[in-house]
Amino acid sequence: MERPPDELELATCHLTSLSDGDRGVLEVMRIGQRAVPRLRTLLFQREPSGLFQPRCRVIEALAALHARAVLAEFLQADRHIADPVERAGEEAVINAAARAVRDSLDETLFQRLLLLAETRKLAGPIEVIGQTRRIEGVSCLIAALGDDLARPVAEEALRKFGAAAATALINATNMGVEADDTSARRRRRAAMRLLNEIDPPPATTENLRDRWRGEPDIEIAVLGCRMALRQGGTPECKKAVQQLIRMLGVADWRTGREIRNLLSQSAGAQLYCRRIARNASPIG
């Protein structure tokens, strides 16, 4: 006669089920600390299929049971996984574990999240670093701007720093870029966009804004014009408007729309355009 499953075995079966996972979390929480060793085993178990939801629920249960030490141990472990499917699932679990410890970071764990953000560009560590607002995290967040998957999370994290990130963002836009380095170009564009979002605008010189406006990268040039219109005097604003109008003839539809919005929203640009209209010769 088969032995009926005990309470913990049944709870963990529910926990790792795709259909009963939420029920399993509640059952494990009722069992309490006695469930932690079994949960640890499940968390460290590799999943070649890439399926990550059951282990993310294990993390949810561990967090509810305040088993921070297990989560920290998992984050500190080095796992080198060659298979891309399994690696993608593992990274989703690491992201969940990082978010689960966000309210209990010590220095050792913070440094580990920095390393994961720098070397693997993982969204969970990037997000948590942004929430700490610790200035030493800014450089790894800027590095993540060049990664298509990490960029949205890195941008949101950097927005939390506001003006505190301005100097690092300016430095990022001034870095030289090889012609075939698409990641670096994306990073510079994202850094420049974030600079333009900071309110009040970060202090920049006219020479620096002129350099940005003279960039062969049209997106950087448009953003340089935007900054000139926000911070420059009348002569600089005039040059920026003239340049934006010229760029309309070579811009793609997305950049063209951005230029038109900029010309219509900037008070300096509107004033200059009205002067052009008043001085234009009548047709015919």
Instruction: Tell me what pLDDT residue 181 has.
Output: 79
Instruction: Tell me what pLDDT residue 200 has.
Output: 86
Task: Give the Cα separation of 216 and 66 in Å (integer).
Answer: 53
pLDDT category, 201, cuts 50, 70, 90? confident
Q: Average pLDDT in the 97-119 region?
A: 95
Say what the pTM is.
Answer: 0.84
* pLDDT(5) > 70: no
Q: In 10 A of CB 206, how many CB atoms?
A: 13
Q: Is 240 exposed, middle or buried (0-12, 13-18, 19+ CB in 10 A)?
A: buried
Q: Average pLDDT in the 130-153 region?
A: 93
Rounded to the nearest 10 degrees, how much is the dihedral formed by the CA atoms of 110, 111, 114, 116? -100
Instruction: Tell me what pLDDT residue 18 has.
Output: 82
* pLDDT(2) > 50: no
Give the helix ranges, DSSP H, for the chain.
Answer: 7-15, 21-31, 36-44, 53-64, 68-76, 84-100, 107-120, 123-132, 138-144, 151-161, 166-173, 182-197, 206-213, 218-231, 234-247, 253-265, 267-279
DSSP string, 32-49: GGGGHHHHHHHHHS--TT
pLDDT category, 267, cuts 50, 70, 90? low
Instruction: Identify the residue whose tokens are 């929203």.
Output: 265
pLDDT category, 284, cuts 50, 70, 90? very low
Instruction: Tell me what pLDDT residue 3 has.
Output: 42
